[in-house]
Structure 1
Amino acid sequence: MPETTPKGLTGLAFGGDYNPEQWPEDVRHEDVRLMREAGVTMVSVGIFSWALLEPTPGTYEFGWLDRLLDLLHDNGIRADLGTPTVAPPAWFYREHPDALPVAADGTRYAFGSRGAICHSNTHYRAAAANITTRLATRYADHPALALWHVHNEYGVPVSACYCESCAAHFRRWLTRTYGTVEALNEAWGTAFWGQRYADFGQIDPPRLTPTVGNPAQALDHRRFADETMRENFVAERDILHRLAPGIPVTTNFMTALSQCDSVDYWAWGREVDLVTNDHYLITDGRRTHVNLAMAADLTRSVAGGAPWLLLEHSTSGVNWQPRNPAKAPGQMARNSLAHVARGSEGAMFFQWRQSRRGAEKFHSSMLPHAGTDSRVWREVVELGASVEALAPVKGTRTVADVAVLWDWHSWWAQGLQWRPSEDHDARERADAFYEALYDRHLTVDFAHPETDLSAYPLVVVPALYLMTEAAGNNLREYVESGGTLVVSYFSGIVDEHDAVHAGPYPGALRDVLGLTVEEFSPLLAGERTRITGPDGCELTGDVWTEFVVPRGAETVWTYADGLTAGHPAVTRNRLGQGSAWYVSTRLGAQGLDALLGRAAHDARIAPRAELPRDVEVVRRAGESGTYLFAVNHTSTDAKVPLDAHGTELLTGERAAGRLAVPAGAVRVVRLDG
C-alpha cells in the first residue's frame, strides 16, 4: 500500500507554497531563517517551474532546485515537490500549438496564463511524463522529499476542450462506455429532434449550437473531460510510485468551491494517496466560516473519513474576487484550526513570500510586503506555535453526527439548460441545509448516494436531481432499517443519462417517500407561499411548489395559498423501522430549522441548545485520545460544556465543567480517559 502521510513529518504540516525563483537566490537564506522562526515544517515547491527546469526542449537545469532542497533539508523543513505540468513552457506551445485547449465556440485559448491544456493532446501527455520522470529519477531519495504534488488544481480554469483531438478521444471514450451506437442512441434519447447517429464517427463534442443541445451528450462530455484529466494524473502518479516508492502522491482539490464543479472528487479521492484541499473564503456577505466548515467536512468525506491536509488557504485577503477584504485579527488562526478540527493534518498557505510581480501580487502571504513588522507576520508566528502544540491530534479522525448526500454528476446534470425554474439552485439548497445542520451543532459527513449509510441516524438529501435506481433502493433500505431521511424538492427525477425515471415524479424516491408528484409549479420571481402545520406553525417558501399526492405518507405542513393551496407541502412517511421526510418548497432558515428539528427528534438526536450560535464544537478521536475543538466565531466570550475533564493544549490549562472560549479564539481540550 502507498504511504498516506508526508514522509518525515512527525507533527502537523505548517507552511505554504514557496516560489524562490521569483527572487534573487540570496533571499533564500533569509526565507529559511524566517521559516524556522515561524515554525514552518513543510513547503510546496516547483509547481510552476517547468520553464526553469527545462528552459529549452531536452535541456535541463536542476541545479537551482538541488540547492533549494538541500537548504530546506539543512534547516529541518520538508518539501512537497510539484510536478510542474499545470504550466508547460512557451517553447512547448510554440512547437505544439494544438496542445492549447479550444472552447465550445471554437476559440483556441492562448499561452500566457495557467492551466491552458488540452488533456487529450498526445504531445502534452508525453512531455508531462518526461518531466515527471526526470524529477522522480533525480529526487526520489532526497532527504527533504516528503510528498509529491502533481499538477495544480485540476479543472481550473479549463477542464473541457472541444478540439479535434478531444473529439476523437471522446468518440473512443463513448465506444468503450456504450459498446454499440445503438446503446448510445437509447441512452441519449437521440430520437428527439432527429439526432440519431449511425456510427460513433458522426459524434462531436457538444460544441456551440443554435439552441439547446442534447443534455445527455453534454452530461457525458462532462464525465469524459473529468476522466481525461484523471487519466493524466494517474499517469504521473504511477511514474512517481514506480521511481520514488514510499513517497505519497497527491494533487490539490478544491472540493466546495462552485467555481470548481467540473471534477468528480469521489472518483479522484480514490486515486490520490493523501487527499489535500485548497480553500479560500468567498466574501459575498454570507457567514464565511460556515462554507469553510462545509469544505472541510466534504474534503474529509472524499478522504473516506481519514485525515487529510489543507494544502492552500490565505493568511488574509485574496486578489481574484470583486472585493477582497483583509481577515480580521485572529481570523487566520481561527480559520486554520477550524480545518484541523474537521480532520486536516495541518494548515498550509498560498504562499510563503508575497510576490512583487505577476497576477497574484496582491494575494496575501505568510511573509507580506509589509515584512516582519506586521500584524500578519506576528499572527503567522503565533499560529505556528499553536499548530506545533496540536501535534498529538495527528492521525485522529473527526466524529460526525449526520450525513448529507452529495454527487457531482447530479450537479452537472442540474446545471444543464431548460429546467423548470432558473431560480432553483441545487447548490444553494446544499449550502442552506448544511448551514441549518451547522446551526444545530451537528457535524456532517458527506456521502455518495449509493454508499452504506447505516452509521448515520439522519441523512439529508438537499437537491439531487439525478439519482440512480441503485441510490433509490439504497435510501429505501436505509429507512426500512431504522434511519431518518430528509429530502428536498426536485430530487430523484432522472437517471444517470438525464432521462426521467418512468412513472410519476419523484422517480427513484417514490417508494421511500410514499408519495407522487403530479406536477411541478415553480413560483415567479418574488412570489412566496405560506404553509401551515402542527400547532398552527406557519412557514414561508419561495421559488418552488408541487402538486404532491400522498401514497402512504402523512401530511405535516400544507400549502395555504397559491395554485397548490390545500396540497401537502411537507410530508412524513413511516417505512419499516424508520421515517422519510419530504419538503416540496424552498424553505428559509427558520423553516429548515423547524423541519430538521422534527427529523432530528425522529432520529433520536438530542438538541444542543446550550451551545451558542457560531461557536462550533467538533471532536477528533483516535489511539492518542479524544480531542474537543471549540471555535468561537463571535465577538463575545463563550462557555462550552465539557462531559469530561481534560487539558487545553494551546494554553496548558486544566479544563472541567465548562470551557471558557474567548471571543474569536480557539480552544482544544484533550479529554481524560
Structure 2
Amino acid sequence: MPETTPRGLTRLAFGGDYNPEQWPESVWQEDVRLMREAGVTMVSVGIFSWALLEPAPGEYDFGWLDRILALLHENGIRVDLGTPTVVPPAWFYRAHPEALPVTAEGVRYEFGSRGAICHSNADYRAAAASITTELAERYGDHPALAMWHVHNEYGVPVSACYCDSCAAHFRCWLAGTYGKVEAVNEAWGTAFWGQRYTDLEQINPPRATPTVGNPGQALDYKRFADATIRENFRAERDILHRLSPGVPVTTNFMTALSQCDSLDYWAWGREVDLVTNDHYLITDGRRTHVNLAMAADLTRSVAGGAPWLLLEHSTSGVNWQPRNPAKAPRQMARNSLAHVARGSEGAMFFQWRQSRRGAEKFHSSMLPHGGTETRVWREVVELGASLDSLSTIRDTRTEADVAVLWDWQSWWAQNLAWRPSEDHDPRERADSFYEALYDRHLTVDFAHPEADLSAYPLVVVPALYLMTEAAGNNIREYVENGGTLVVSYFSGIVDEHDAVHDGAYPGTLRDVLGLTVEEFSPLLKDERVRLTGPDGSELTGDVWTEFVVPRGAETVWTYADGLTAGHPALTRHRLGEGTAWYVSTRLDAHGLDALIGWAADDARIASRADLPRDVEVVRRGGESGTYLFVINHTGGDAKVPLDAPGTELLTGERAAGRLAVPAGAVRVVRLDG
C-alpha cells in the first residue's frame, strides 16, 4: 500500500508554495532563515517550473532545483515536489498548437496563462510523462522529499476541450461505456427531436447548437472530461509510484462547492494517496467561516474520514475577486485552525514570498511585500508556534454528528439547461442546509448517496436531482432501520442518464417519503408563499412550490397562499423504525432551523443550545486522546462547557468547567482520560 502521510514529516505541515525561481539566488538564504523563524515544516516547490527545467525539448536544467532542495534539506524543511504539467513551455505549444484546448464555440485558446491543456492530446500526454519520469528518476529518493504534487488544481480554469482529438477520444469512451450505438441512443433519448445516431462516428462533443442540445450527451461529456483528466493524473501517479516508492502522491483539490464543479471528487478521492485541498474565502458579505467549515468537512469526507491536508489558503486577501478585502486581525489563525479542527494535518498557503510580477502579485502571502515589519508576518510566526504545539493531534479523526448527501454528478445534471426554475440552485440549498446544521453545532460528514449511512442518526438531502435506483434503495433502507431523513424539493427526479424516473415524482424517493408530487409550481422572481403550522404559526418560502399528495405521510405544514394554497408544504412519514421529512419549498434560514430542530428531535440528537452562535466546537479523537477545538468567530468573549477537564494546548493552562475563549481566539483542549 502507498504511504498516506508525508515522508519524514513529524509535525503538522506548515508552509506554502515556494517559487525560488522568481527570485535571485541571493534571496534564497534569507527565505530559508525566515522559514525557520516562522516554524515552516514543509514547502511546495516546482509546480510551475516546466519551462525552466526543460528549456528546450529533451534538454534539462536541474541545477537550480538541486541547490534549493539541498538548502531546504539542510535546514530541516520537507518538500512537496511538483510535477509542472499544469503549464507546458511555450516551445511545446509552438510545436504542438493542437494541444491548446478548444471551446464549445470552436475558439482555440492561446498560450500565456495556465491550465490551457487539451487532456486528450497525445503529445501533451507524452511530454507530461517524460518530464515526470525525469523528475522521479532524479529526485525519487531525495532526502528532502516528503510527497509528490502532481499538476495543480485539475479542472481549473479549463475542464473540457471540444476539439477533434477530444471528439475521437469521446467516441472511444462511449464505446467502452455503452458498447453499441443503440445503447447510447437509449441512454440519451435521441428519439426526441430526431437526434438518433446510427454509428458512433457520427457523435461529436456537445458543441454550440442553435438551441439547447441533448442533456444526456452533455452530462456524459462532463463524465468523459472528468475521466480523461483523471487518466492523466493516474499516468503521472503511476510513474511516481514506480520510480519513487514509499512517497505519497497527491494533487490539490478544490472541493468547496462554490469554487469548482468540474470534477467528481468522490472518484478522485480514491486515486490519491493523501487528499489535499485548496480553499479561498469568497468574501461576498456572508459568514465566510461557515463556507470554510463546509469545505473542510467535504474534503475530510472525500478522504473517507481520514486525515487530509490543507495545501493552499491565503494569509489575507486574494487578488481574483471583484473586491479583495484583507483578513481581520487573528482571522488567519482562526481560518487555519478551523481546517485543522475538521481533519487537516496542517495549514499551507499560497504562497511563501509575495510575487513582484505576474497575475497574482497582489495575492497575499506568508512573507508580504512589506516584509517582516507587517501584521501578516507577525501572525504567520504566531501561527507556526501554535501548530507546533498541536503536533500530538496528528492521525486523530474528526467526530461527526450527521450526514449530508452530495453528488457532483447530480450537480452537473441539475445545472444543465431548461430546468423548471433558474432560481433553484443546488449549491445554495447545500450551503443553506449546512449553515442550519452548523448553527445547531452539528458537525457534518458528507456522503455519496450510495454510501453506508448506518452510523448517522440524521441524514439530510438538500439537493439531489439525479438519484440512481441503488441510491434510492439505500436511503429507504436507512430510514427503515431507524434513521431520520430530511429531503428538500426537486430531489430523486431523474436517473443517471438524466431520464425522469418512471411514474410520479419524486421518483426513487416516493415510497420513503410517503407521497407523490403531481406538479412542480416554481414561483416568479421575488414571489413568496406563507406556510402555516399546526399551532397557527407561519414560515416563509420562495423560489419553488409543489402540488404534494400524501400517500402515507402526515401533513405538518400547509401552504397558506399562492397557487398551491391548502396543499401540503412540509410532511413527515414514519417508515419502519425511522422517519422521513420532506419540504417542498425553499425555506428561509428561520424555517430551515425549525425543520432541522424537529428532525434532530426525531433523531434523538441532544440540543446544544447552550453553545453560543458563531463559536465553533469540534472534536478530534484517536489513540493520542480527545481534542476539543473551540473557535470564537465573534467580537465578544465566550464560555463553553467542557465534558471533562483537560490541558489547553495553545496556552498550556489547565481547563475545567467552562472554558473561556476570548473574542476572535482559538482554544484547543486535550481532554483528560
TM-score (norm 2): 1.00
Q: Percent identity?
A: 86
Q: Which string of whole-angstrom CA distances, capped at 9 and with x for unpartnered residues, describes residues 237-276 of structure 1?
A: 0000000000000000000143310000000000000000
C-alpha distance in 2 between matches for 1:622 and 1:372: 38
Q: Which string of whole-angstrom CA distances, capped at 9 and with x for unpartnered residues, describes residues 352-406 of structure 1?
A: 0000000000000000000000000000000000000000100000000000000
Question: How is 1:120-135 mapped onto 2 (pairs within 5 angstroms)?
Answer: 120-135=120-135
Asked if structure 1 preserves the Cα contact closer than 8 Å seen for 2:402 and 2:443, the reply is yes
**RMSD between superposed Cα atoms in Å:** 0.4
C-alpha distance in 1 between matches for 2:449 and 2:474: 8
Question: How is 1:80-119 mapped onto 2 (pairs within 5 angstroms)?
Answer: 80-119=80-119
Residue 554 (structure 1) aligns with? 554
Write the letter of the residue equivalent to 2:54: E
C-alpha distance in 1 between matches for 2:536 and 2:7: 61
C-alpha distance in 1 between matches for 2:489 and 2:81: 45
Asked if structure 1 preserves the Cα contact closer than 8 Å seen for 2:466 and 2:494, the reply is yes
Shift of 1:552: 0.2
Shift of 1:536: 1.8
Write the letter of the residue equivalent to 2:146: A
Residue 648 (structure 2) aligns with? 648
Residue 310 (structure 1) aligns with? 310
2:289 is the counterpart of 1:289: yes
C-alpha distance in 2 between matches for 1:426 and 1:143: 46
Question: How is 1:208-287 mapped onto 2 (pairs within 5 angstroms)?
Answer: 208-287=208-287
C-alpha distance in 1 between matches for 2:591 and 2:246: 51
**SS, match of residue 647 in structure 2:** strand
C-alpha distance in 2 between matches for 1:608 and 1:85: 48
Residue 612 (structure 1) aligns with? 612
Residue 494 (structure 1) aligns with? 494
Q: Which string of whole-angstrom CA distances, capped at 9 and with x for unpartnered residues, describes residues 547-583 of structure 1?
A: 0000000000000011101100000000000000000
C-alpha distance in 1 between matches for 2:79 and 2:11: 14
Residue 368 (structure 1) aligns with? 368
**SS, match of residue 86 in structure 1:** coil
Asked if structure 1 preserves the Cα contact closer than 8 Å seen for 2:257 and 2:427, the reply is no
C-alpha distance in 2 between matches for 1:37 and 1:595: 50
Q: Which string of whole-angstrom CA distances, capped at 9 and with x for unpartnered residues, describes residues 6-40 of structure 1?
A: 00000100000000100001100000000000000
C-alpha distance in 1 between matches for 2:409 and 2:439: 28
Shift of 1:537: 2.1
Write the letter of the residue equivalent to 2:93: Y
C-alpha distance in 2 between matches for 1:508 and 1:368: 54
Q: How many equivalent pairs are there?
A: 673
C-alpha distance in 1 between matches for 2:598 and 2:328: 37
Write the letter of the residue equivalent to 1:293: A
Q: Which string of whole-angstrom CA distances, capped at 9 and with x for unpartnered residues, describes residues 301-342 of structure 1?
A: 000000000000000000000000000000000000000000
Shift of 1:588: 0.5
Q: Which runs of 5+ in 1 are unaligned?
A: none
Residue 595 (structure 1) aligns with? 595
Question: How is 1:129-528 mapped onto 2 (pairs within 5 angstroms)?
Answer: 129-528=129-528
C-alpha distance in 2 between matches for 1:82 and 1:508: 44
Shift of 1:100: 0.2
C-alpha distance in 1 between matches for 2:70 and 2:594: 59
C-alpha distance in 1 between matches for 2:104 and 2:59: 36
Moved over 3 A (4+): none
C-alpha distance in 2 between matches for 1:255 and 1:526: 31
Write the letter of the residue equivalent to 1:213: G
C-alpha distance in 2 between matches for 1:251 and 1:56: 26
Write the letter of the residue equivalent to 2:355: S
C-alpha distance in 2 between matches for 1:141 and 1:413: 44
Residue 33 (structure 2) aligns with? 33
Residue 543 (structure 1) aligns with? 543
TM-score (norm 1): 1.00
C-alpha distance in 1 between matches for 2:257 and 2:547: 34
C-alpha distance in 2 between matches for 1:539 and 1:170: 48
C-alpha distance in 2 between matches for 1:275 and 1:208: 36
Residue 47 (structure 1) aligns with? 47
**SS, match of residue 26 in structure 1:** helix
**SS, match of residue 201 in structure 1:** helix
Asked if structure 1 preserves the Cα contact closer than 8 Å seen for 2:79 and 2:147, the reply is yes
**SS, match of residue 535 in structure 2:** helix
**SS, match of residue 453 in structure 1:** coil
**SS, match of residue 25 in structure 2:** coil
Shift of 1:71: 0.2
Shift of 1:227: 0.3
Residue 622 (structure 1) aligns with? 622
Asked if structure 1 preserves the Cα contact closer than 8 Å seen for 2:317 and 2:363, the reply is yes
